[in-house]
Protein backbone atom coordinates (compact mmCIF):
# COMPACT_ATOMS: atom_id res chain seq x y z
CA UNK A 1 0.00 0.00 0.00
CA UNK A 2 1.35 3.42 -0.93
CA UNK A 3 2.03 6.22 1.48
CA UNK A 4 -0.57 8.86 0.71
CA UNK A 5 0.17 11.62 1.21
CA UNK A 6 3.90 11.05 1.13
CA UNK A 7 5.84 11.49 4.37
CA UNK A 8 8.71 13.99 4.53
CA UNK A 9 11.34 11.25 4.10
CA UNK A 10 9.62 9.62 1.11
CA UNK A 11 8.96 12.97 -0.53
CA UNK A 12 12.61 14.01 -0.12
CA UNK A 13 13.91 10.69 -1.46
CA UNK A 14 11.59 10.88 -4.48
CA UNK A 15 12.65 14.43 -5.27
CA UNK A 16 16.33 13.53 -4.91
CA UNK A 17 16.01 10.44 -7.11
CA UNK A 18 14.19 12.38 -9.80
CA UNK A 19 16.53 15.39 -9.70
CA UNK A 20 19.75 13.37 -9.77
CA UNK A 21 18.53 11.51 -12.85
CA UNK A 22 17.51 14.53 -14.95
CA UNK A 23 13.88 15.06 -13.89
CA UNK A 24 14.10 18.34 -11.99
CA UNK A 25 10.63 19.79 -12.66
CA UNK A 26 8.36 19.10 -9.68
CA UNK A 27 4.80 18.71 -10.99
CA UNK A 28 2.91 17.92 -7.80
CA UNK A 29 1.59 14.90 -5.91
CA UNK A 30 -1.68 13.01 -6.15
CA UNK A 31 -2.77 9.84 -4.35
CA UNK A 32 0.79 9.19 -3.15
CA UNK A 33 2.39 9.59 -6.59
CA UNK A 34 4.81 12.52 -7.04
CA UNK A 35 5.12 13.68 -10.67
CA UNK A 36 8.31 15.03 -12.25
CA UNK A 37 9.31 16.30 -15.68
CA UNK A 38 12.44 17.29 -17.57
CA UNK A 39 13.29 20.07 -19.98
CA UNK A 40 15.27 17.62 -22.13
CA UNK A 41 13.71 14.17 -21.71
CA UNK A 42 10.27 13.36 -23.06
CA UNK A 43 7.47 12.15 -20.81
CA UNK A 44 6.46 12.46 -17.17
CA UNK A 45 7.64 10.15 -14.40
CA UNK A 46 5.75 9.37 -11.19
CA UNK A 47 7.39 8.14 -7.98
CA UNK A 48 5.84 6.57 -4.90
CA UNK A 49 6.75 4.30 -1.98
CA UNK A 50 5.16 2.11 0.64
CA UNK A 51 7.34 3.75 3.29
CA UNK A 52 10.82 5.19 3.97
CA UNK A 53 12.36 1.72 3.51
CA UNK A 54 10.47 0.98 0.29
CA UNK A 55 9.52 -0.72 -1.83
CA UNK A 56 9.67 2.09 -4.39
CA UNK A 57 7.43 2.55 -7.40
CA UNK A 58 7.93 4.20 -10.79
CA UNK A 59 5.16 4.98 -13.27
CA UNK A 60 5.79 6.10 -16.86
CA UNK A 61 3.68 7.53 -19.67
CA UNK A 62 6.25 7.35 -22.51
CA UNK A 63 5.48 4.22 -24.57
CA UNK A 64 8.86 4.17 -26.28
CA UNK A 65 10.67 4.20 -22.93
CA UNK A 66 8.34 1.54 -21.51
CA UNK A 67 9.06 -0.80 -24.44
CA UNK A 68 12.83 -0.53 -24.00
CA UNK A 69 13.23 -0.19 -20.23
CA UNK A 70 13.43 -4.00 -19.84
CA UNK A 71 11.98 -4.05 -16.31
CA UNK A 72 8.98 -6.25 -15.36
CA UNK A 73 5.79 -4.30 -14.81
CA UNK A 74 4.15 -4.25 -11.36
CA UNK A 75 0.55 -5.15 -10.69
CA UNK A 76 -0.42 -1.88 -9.05
CA UNK A 77 -2.83 0.85 -10.06
CA UNK A 78 -1.64 4.37 -10.62
CA UNK A 79 -0.82 7.03 -13.19
CA UNK A 80 0.93 6.60 -16.50
CA UNK A 81 0.77 3.67 -18.93
CA UNK A 82 2.94 1.27 -16.91
CA UNK A 83 4.21 0.92 -13.36
CA UNK A 84 7.27 -0.79 -11.88
CA UNK A 85 8.38 -1.84 -8.39
CA UNK A 86 11.90 -1.76 -6.90
CA UNK A 87 13.11 -3.20 -3.61
CA UNK A 88 15.91 -0.67 -3.16
CA UNK A 89 16.66 2.93 -4.00
CA UNK A 90 19.71 1.72 -5.95
CA UNK A 91 17.51 -0.28 -8.31
CA UNK A 92 15.16 2.69 -8.69
CA UNK A 93 18.09 4.99 -9.51
CA UNK A 94 19.34 2.58 -12.18
CA UNK A 95 15.89 2.49 -13.80
CA UNK A 96 15.58 6.29 -13.65
CA UNK A 97 19.01 6.71 -15.23
CA UNK A 98 17.96 4.46 -18.11
CA UNK A 99 14.59 6.21 -18.34
CA UNK A 100 16.28 9.57 -18.80
CA UNK A 101 18.70 8.21 -21.41
CA UNK A 102 15.82 6.81 -23.42
CA UNK A 103 13.70 9.91 -22.88
CA UNK A 104 16.27 12.18 -24.52
CA UNK A 105 16.74 9.74 -27.41
CA UNK A 106 13.24 8.54 -28.36
CA UNK A 107 11.54 8.91 -30.73
CA UNK A 108 11.98 12.35 -32.29
CA UNK A 109 14.03 14.21 -29.65
CA UNK A 110 17.27 14.16 -31.71
CA UNK A 111 15.45 15.57 -34.76
CA UNK A 112 13.90 18.37 -32.73
CA UNK A 113 17.29 19.27 -31.24
CA UNK A 114 18.88 19.27 -34.71
CA UNK A 115 16.15 21.47 -36.20
CA UNK A 116 16.49 23.92 -33.32
CA UNK A 117 20.26 24.18 -33.78
CA UNK A 118 20.24 24.60 -37.56
CA UNK A 119 17.23 26.93 -37.80
CA UNK A 120 18.17 29.82 -40.06
CA UNK A 121 21.54 28.40 -41.11
CA UNK A 122 22.24 28.71 -44.87
CA UNK A 123 22.65 25.55 -46.94
CA UNK A 124 23.53 27.02 -50.33
CA UNK A 125 27.19 26.10 -50.65
CA UNK A 126 28.88 22.77 -50.02
CA UNK A 127 30.72 24.29 -47.05
CA UNK A 128 27.43 25.46 -45.53
CA UNK A 129 25.84 22.05 -46.01
CA UNK A 130 28.84 20.42 -44.34
CA UNK A 131 28.36 22.66 -41.29
CA UNK A 132 24.72 21.53 -41.02
CA UNK A 133 25.75 17.89 -41.48
CA UNK A 134 28.38 18.18 -38.75
CA UNK A 135 25.77 19.56 -36.34
CA UNK A 136 23.52 16.63 -37.18
CA UNK A 137 26.30 14.13 -36.59
CA UNK A 138 27.14 15.76 -33.25
CA UNK A 139 23.49 15.54 -32.15
CA UNK A 140 23.35 11.91 -33.30
CA UNK A 141 26.48 10.99 -31.34
CA UNK A 142 25.25 12.73 -28.18
CA UNK A 143 21.94 10.87 -28.28
CA UNK A 144 23.62 7.53 -29.02
CA UNK A 145 25.81 8.13 -25.96
CA UNK A 146 22.61 8.48 -23.93
CA UNK A 147 20.85 5.54 -25.57
CA UNK A 148 23.76 3.11 -25.14
CA UNK A 149 24.63 4.50 -21.70
CA UNK A 150 28.05 5.73 -22.77
CA UNK A 151 29.59 2.36 -23.58
CA UNK A 152 30.15 0.05 -26.51
CA UNK A 153 27.59 -2.75 -26.06
CA UNK A 154 30.01 -5.32 -27.49
CA UNK A 155 33.14 -4.59 -25.50
CA UNK A 156 32.03 -2.42 -22.57
CA UNK A 157 34.56 0.26 -23.53
CA UNK A 158 33.37 3.58 -22.09
CA UNK A 159 36.20 5.98 -23.00
CA UNK A 160 34.41 8.67 -25.09
CA UNK A 161 37.47 9.23 -27.28
CA UNK A 162 37.37 5.57 -28.33
CA UNK A 163 33.64 5.46 -29.16
CA UNK A 164 32.08 6.12 -32.56
CA UNK A 165 28.51 6.80 -33.65
CA UNK A 166 28.05 4.12 -36.31
CA UNK A 167 25.16 4.52 -38.74
CA UNK A 168 23.47 1.28 -39.81
CA UNK A 169 21.97 2.88 -42.92
CA UNK A 170 24.65 5.38 -44.00
CA UNK A 171 23.97 9.10 -43.59
CA UNK A 172 24.02 9.70 -47.35
CA UNK A 173 21.58 6.84 -48.01
CA UNK A 174 18.93 7.99 -45.53
CA UNK A 175 15.80 9.50 -47.05
CA UNK A 176 15.24 12.13 -44.35
CA UNK A 177 16.85 13.89 -41.41
CA UNK A 178 14.48 11.95 -39.15
CA UNK A 179 16.01 8.69 -40.37
CA UNK A 180 19.57 10.02 -40.12
CA UNK A 181 19.05 11.05 -36.49
CA UNK A 182 16.97 8.07 -35.30
CA UNK A 183 18.96 6.34 -32.55
CA UNK A 184 17.69 2.99 -33.84
CA UNK A 185 19.73 3.69 -36.97
CA UNK A 186 22.93 3.71 -34.95
CA UNK A 187 25.26 1.63 -32.79
CA UNK A 188 27.79 3.06 -30.36
CA UNK A 189 30.92 1.07 -31.19
CA UNK A 190 34.56 1.22 -30.19
CA UNK A 191 36.81 2.61 -32.92
CA UNK A 192 38.04 -0.74 -34.28
CA UNK A 193 34.55 -2.24 -34.42
CA UNK A 194 33.24 0.93 -36.07
CA UNK A 195 35.88 0.73 -38.80
CA UNK A 196 35.00 -2.90 -39.54
CA UNK A 197 31.24 -2.22 -39.45
CA UNK A 198 31.49 0.86 -41.66
CA UNK A 199 33.35 -1.15 -44.31
CA UNK A 200 30.94 -4.11 -44.06
CA UNK A 201 33.73 -6.36 -42.79
CA UNK A 202 31.43 -7.26 -39.92
CA UNK A 203 27.67 -7.14 -39.48
CA UNK A 204 25.24 -8.49 -36.86
CA UNK A 205 22.49 -11.10 -36.90
CA UNK A 206 19.07 -10.64 -35.29
CA UNK A 207 20.46 -11.76 -31.92
CA UNK A 208 23.16 -9.09 -32.06
CA UNK A 209 26.00 -11.54 -32.66
CA UNK A 210 28.81 -10.53 -35.04
CA UNK A 211 29.08 -12.06 -38.52
CA UNK A 212 32.52 -11.64 -40.08
CA UNK A 213 33.45 -11.22 -43.72
CA UNK A 214 35.70 -13.94 -45.21
CA UNK A 215 37.92 -11.12 -46.45
CA UNK A 216 38.76 -10.18 -42.86
CA UNK A 217 42.12 -11.60 -41.83
CA UNK A 218 42.34 -14.05 -38.95
CA UNK A 219 44.59 -11.62 -37.07
CA UNK A 220 42.04 -8.80 -37.42
CA UNK A 221 39.20 -11.10 -36.41
CA UNK A 222 41.12 -12.12 -33.28
CA UNK A 223 41.54 -8.45 -32.37
CA UNK A 224 37.80 -7.82 -32.66
CA UNK A 225 37.06 -9.14 -29.20
CA UNK A 226 33.58 -8.92 -27.72
CA UNK A 227 31.98 -9.77 -24.40
CA UNK A 228 28.29 -10.13 -25.25
CA UNK A 229 25.87 -9.67 -28.14
CA UNK A 230 24.29 -6.28 -28.83
CA UNK A 231 20.81 -5.89 -27.37
CA UNK A 232 18.63 -5.03 -30.37
CA UNK A 233 15.08 -3.83 -30.90
CA UNK A 234 12.99 -4.61 -33.99
CA UNK A 235 13.80 -1.08 -35.16
CA UNK A 236 17.50 -2.01 -35.23
CA UNK A 237 16.86 -5.42 -36.81
CA UNK A 238 15.11 -4.28 -39.98
CA UNK A 239 17.86 -1.75 -40.61
CA UNK A 240 20.53 -4.40 -40.08
CA UNK A 241 18.87 -6.48 -42.79
CA UNK A 242 19.97 -3.78 -45.26
CA UNK A 243 23.45 -3.72 -43.76
CA UNK A 244 23.74 -7.50 -44.11
CA UNK A 245 22.72 -7.25 -47.77
CA UNK A 246 25.58 -4.79 -48.30
CA UNK A 247 27.91 -7.02 -46.32
CA UNK A 248 27.10 -10.00 -48.54
CA UNK A 249 28.33 -7.99 -51.53
CA UNK A 250 31.55 -7.43 -49.61
CA UNK A 251 31.78 -11.14 -48.79
CA UNK A 252 31.39 -12.15 -52.41
CA UNK A 253 34.37 -9.99 -53.33
CA UNK A 254 36.63 -11.53 -50.70
CA UNK A 255 39.10 -14.39 -51.17
What pTM was estimated for this model as a whole?
A: 0.89
Chain segment 133-189, per-residue pLDDT in tens: 999 999 999 999 999 999 999 999 999 999 999 999 999 999 999 999 999 999 999
d(CA 168, CA 179): 11
Report the share of the chain in percent with pLDDT over 70: 96
Chain segment 20-53, per-residue pLDDT in tens: 999 999 999 999 999 999 999 999 999 999 999 9
d(CA 131, CA 122): 9
Dihedral, 236, 238, 243, 244 alpha carbons, nearest 10: 120
Question: What residues contact residue 239 under an 8 Å CB cut-off, 6+ apart?
Answer: 168, 169, 184, 185
Annotated domain spans of the chain: 8-103, 109-253
Q: How many CA atoms lie within 13 A of 196 on its CB side?
A: 24
Mean pLDDT of the chain: 94
Helices and strands (DSSP H and E) totals, the chain: 9, 9
Chain segment 111-132, per-residue pLDDT in tens: 999 999 999 999 999 999 999 9
Amino acid sequence: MLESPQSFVVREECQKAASQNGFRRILGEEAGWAAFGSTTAKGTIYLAASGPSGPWYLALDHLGVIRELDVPEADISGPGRARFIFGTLGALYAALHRTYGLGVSLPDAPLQEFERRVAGLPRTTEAERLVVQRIGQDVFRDRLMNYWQGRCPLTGISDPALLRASHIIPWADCESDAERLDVHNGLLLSALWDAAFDRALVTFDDEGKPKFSPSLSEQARNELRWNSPISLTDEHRWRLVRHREHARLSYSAGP
